Copies of this chain bind each other. A is one copy, B any other.
Amino acid sequence: MLKLSRLADYAIVILVKLGEQDGVVTSPALAAITGVPEPTVAKVLKVLSAHGFVLSQRGAKGGYRLARSLADMSVASVIAAVDGQIALTACVGGRECDTGLSCGLCGSWDVINTAIRSTLEGISLESMRPKEACFPVPSQINTLNTTHTVREGA
Contact = CB atoms under 8 A, between A and B. Distances in A.
A45 to B, nearest CB: 15
Nearest to A86: B2
Contact of A112 (B33, B83, B123): B123
A49 interface: no
Contact of A119 (B16, B84, B116): B116
Interface residues of A, number: 62
Nearest to A96: B135
Interface of A: 1-6, 8-10, 12-13, 16-17, 33-36, 75, 79, 82-84, 86-91, 94-95, 99-108, 111-112, 115-116, 119-120, 122-123, 127-130, 133-135, 137-138, 140-141, 144, 149, 151
